[in-house]
Structure 1
Amino acid sequence: MALTAFLLKRLSYAAVLVLAVLVLNFLLIRLAPGDPIETLAGQMGGMTEEIRAELQRAYGLDKPLPAQLGIYLSRAISGDLGHSYFFNLPVTQLILERVPATLLLVMTALFLAVLAGTTLGVMASRRPNGLLSQIITVVSVVGYSAPVFWTGMLLIILFASIIPILPVSGMRAAVVRQGVFADMLDVAHHLVLPSLSLAIVYLAQYGRLTRASMLDVLGADYIRTARAKGLTENTVYFRHALRNALLPVITIVGLQFGNMLAGAIVVETVFNWPGLGRLAFDSVLRRDYPTLLGLLFFSSLLVIVVNQLTDMCYRLADPRIRT
């Protein structure tokens, strides 16, 4: 019953938050400078006033802002995110076509960042004043300070010019390989540099956080008790200390999932990765309001879902929270 009540409460909060996000995104997009009709006119080489007025009526831009907001909310709640001005396709179709590529990139980068960052943090906490700990700390600070696009361009220079062993653009090779396994290998080959570029920043942060959390946990009374019982050092580290030290990492992973999606926009642009980030970049340049609103709504919904899952993981990792 307690878990059911908790879930219902979180779902109600999430519904209110989604509605607030819809309204805020709509107002921010509409108040931003630029006119989609003018952008279309520029791409068409000009248009008459009659065609301009007809397009405004077709896209509902001739109505007052409150009326446009009401129409958008009613359609969005029913699952209709509108029609793209530029791509001339339903926004939902555009998003669903790009979601797999973005999720593959983000989840791969997240897995690499958490796994490598946690491992480096544990290694650094074993001897906090040792040479390895100092090297990991310096590398973490440098990795966290480097912008994502700068890291991506360095990797492109390294693996396209100096050591040309990895592809630096797209998701698949121009020549289509036969077979599912060959296609998976091709995608994985193209995924290395984008995922590494996105993972480096968060890898450094998770490493620093794990190191600090491990050092804090290792000074607790129950760790001294575990050692006094004669448990091996590996058992103390990985069975008793690491589980509690991972709680702050779980929290940060959930909170920064939205930042990782934002970083994916830059990475997808640098590496020409055909995901939501690239679609968002193209939509901004073309003032494609429905596509931008659909992308913002989907990204916000994804972040909210991940935050709810983070709360659940936190409750599973820490039995004290379940009560």
Structure 2
Amino acid sequence: MYFVRRIGFFLATLFAAVTLNFVIPRLQPGDPAEVMVQKLAGRGTAIDPAAVKAMRAMLGAPDGGLLTQYGEYLRALSHLDFGVSYTYFPFNVIDVIAQAMPWTMALVGVTQILAFVVGVTLGAFAAWRRNTRFDSVVTLGSTFVGTLPSFWIALILVFVFGYTLNWLPTSGGYGASTPGWNVAFAGDAIYHSILPATALLVTAPIGWILGMRNTMIMNLGEDYIRLAKAKGLPDRVVALRYAARNALLPSVTGFATALGGVLGGSILVETIFDYPGLGRLMGEAIGNRDFPLLQALLLFAITGVLIANLVADMLYGVLDPRARKDAA
């Protein structure tokens, strides 16, 4: 029953997300065809309605009422046909996303995994050494760093390491190397990803550190921890196999959500570093009112988070029998 209910919630939420994904972009004012014609004609120049109509037809912009457009949207979605990108015309939306997805998966995915490992490790150690200097430094330092916006950190990194010291590149995903599966291109891509990855890693572990510390401190006061200590078990065994293991369970859902959110990319950081990922694509789609590209990116991001939550719920039900018992 627990697993059936979770799957039912997933399907209902996915349907609502698909519907909102259709409605939200259309709430934006303006017409993408008019924006593109205005760019071609120049600012302050009167645009020809016939040119707007021709541009709308060329872009394949939907016409008719909202219900008609919604029906066409669902039909195209069932065939994974997201249409043509207004920004990257005449390329298909799915092709544009396929080009950018590996960059975001490599950058944001790797940084999220590193942030989780570093965060839960520091949080667990700070909880075990609570009220010590190490705990104070980690807790207060995390609280302070957590107040800093990621885009501000990115700008500081660009100014210091890019322009002042001239140690690292400030934009792009690679330099003069030819894209391909070879060591030279991989090294060039890693070299260009150092600054954006650092900008993400500065603040990404903060939530894991504080969450793991607080949860583990609560677990350290439980009776089974006292029993483990009374049995004479080593401190390392009590900390890792008893306290940290149980404190890690609530972080499973958060980690799954973070991994699911990778498909959304990081708009501000990727835009600042001109990184060719999904986040920069979403920023361009919003600015250009590129409905097909924006809808596809939002749907990818929402679906990724929903699937990740479903997997986390399933794992939680397997790892913690109390969840299945409460649902029953």
TM-score, length-scaled by structure 1? 0.90
Q: 1:23: which partner in 2?
A: 19
Aligned pairs for 1:34-73 (under 5 A) are 34-45=30-41, 48-57=48-57, 59-73=60-74
Query: 3-state SS of the aligned residue for 1:102?
Result: helix
Q: 1:300: which partner in 2?
A: 302
Deviations 1:81-125 (A, max 9, x none): 111123121111111111111111221111121111112112211
- Which moved further from structure 2: 62-71 or 280-289? 62-71
Q: Distance in 2 between matches of 1:120 and 1:167?
A: 31
Q: Is the 8 A contact 1:56 1:62 kept in 2?
A: no
Runs of 5+ in structure 2 lacking a partner?
none
Deviations 1:141-187 (A, max 9, x none): 12211111011112222322454433332221224499723322222
Query: 3-state SS of the aligned residue for 1:287?
Result: coil
Q: Is the 8 A contact 1:36 1:288 kept in 2?
A: yes
Deviations 1:187-207 (A, max 9, x none): 222222222222332311110
Judged with a 3 Å threshold, the aligned counterparts in structure 2 of structure 1 residues 132 and 25 are, in CA distance, closer, same or farther, namely same
State the identity %: 34
Q: Distance in 2 between matches of 1:199 and 1:318?
A: 30
Judged with a 3 Å threshold, the aligned counterparts in structure 2 of structure 1 residues 285 and 177 are, in CA distance, closer, same or farther, namely closer
Offset of residue 259 of structure 1: 6.1
Q: Distance in 2 between matches of 1:191 and 1:322?
A: 43
Amino acid at match of 1:215: I
Q: Equivalent of 1:132, from 131, 134, 138? A: 134
RMSD: 2.3
Amino acid at match of 2:17: V
Q: Which runs of 4+ in 1 moved over 6 A?
A: none
Q: Is the 8 A contact 2:83 2:292 kept in 1?
A: yes
Offset of residue 246 of structure 1: 0.8
Q: 1:240: which partner in 2?
A: 242
Amino acid at match of 2:273: F
Aligned pairs for 1:64-103 (under 5 A) are 64-88=65-89, 89-103=91-105
Offset of residue 271 of structure 1: 1.2
Query: 3-state SS of the aligned residue for 2:204?
Result: helix
- Which moved further from structure 2: 50-59 or 300-309? 50-59
Amino acid at match of 1:171: G
Judged with a 3 Å threshold, the aligned counterparts in structure 2 of structure 1 residues 190 and 316 are, in CA distance, closer, same or farther, namely farther
Query: 3-state SS of the aligned residue for 1:165?
Result: coil
Aligned length: 319
Q: Equivalent of 1:121, from 102, 120, 123? A: 123
Q: Distance in 1 between matches of 2:253 and 2:227?
A: 27
Q: Distance in 2 between matches of 1:247 and 1:162?
A: 44
Query: 3-state SS of the aligned residue for 2:172?
Result: coil
- Which moved further from structure 2: 291-300 or 198-207? 198-207
Q: Is the 8 A contact 1:170 1:271 kept in 2?
A: yes
Amino acid at match of 1:77: S
Q: Distance in 1 between matches of 2:98 and 2:172?
A: 18
Q: Is the 8 A contact 1:210 1:249 kept in 2?
A: yes
Q: Distance in 2 between matches of 1:79 and 1:262?
A: 18
Q: Distance in 2 between matches of 1:28 and 1:180?
A: 42
Residue 154 of structure 1 pairs with residue 156 of structure 2: yes
Q: 2:316: which partner in 1?
A: 314
Judged with a 3 Å threshold, the aligned counterparts in structure 2 of structure 1 residues 199 and 313 are, in CA distance, closer, same or farther, namely farther
Q: 2:224: which partner in 1?
A: 222
- Which moved further from structure 2: 143-152 or 60-69? 60-69
Q: Is the 8 A contact 1:198 1:263 kept in 2?
A: no
- Which moved further from structure 2: 31-40 or 244-253? 244-253
Q: Is the 8 A contact 1:198 1:260 kept in 2?
A: no
Amino acid at match of 1:82: G
- Which moved further from structure 2: 206-215 or 151-160? 151-160
Q: Equivalent of 1:181, from 175, 178, 183? A: 183
